[in-house]
Amino acid sequence: MPDASDNNAVIRENLIDAGFGVDSIDEIIQMLNVGNRKALDTILVKHRKGLLDKVHLYTQQLDCFDYFTYTLKKQTEVK
């Protein structure tokens, strides 16, 4: 765990935990250092949307799986 006094290390660790790659992290830290907030917001919003799309996909897959196991159980009960 990075030292809390090293702001860039804390930011880097948080971005890693949020699923950003090394190149994206370097780009984000550079944007923070130069104050390019508009471009930074664009990257963050895009990443968040990508994560949320994955959540929706996995939720749909879980629903399909649950339905499949439900129908299997019902077929077994009927026999």
**pLDDT tens-place string over residues 11-32:** 999 999 999 999 999 999 999 9
Between the CA atoms of 44, 46, 50 and 53, what dihedral angle is there, to the nearest 10 degrees?
A: 120
What is the predicted pLDDT for the residue at 1? 59
Helix (H, G, I), strand (E, B) or coil at 73: helix
With a cut of 80, say whether residue 78 has pLDDT above it: no
Q: What is the pLDDT of residue 48?
A: 98
Q: Cα 5 to the chain's mean position, in Å?
A: 26
pLDDT score at 4: 56
pLDDT per residue as tens digits for the range 35-47: 999 999 999 999 9
Is 13 in contact with 2 (CB distance < 8 Å)?
yes
User: Does pTM top 0.85 for this prediction?
Assistant: no
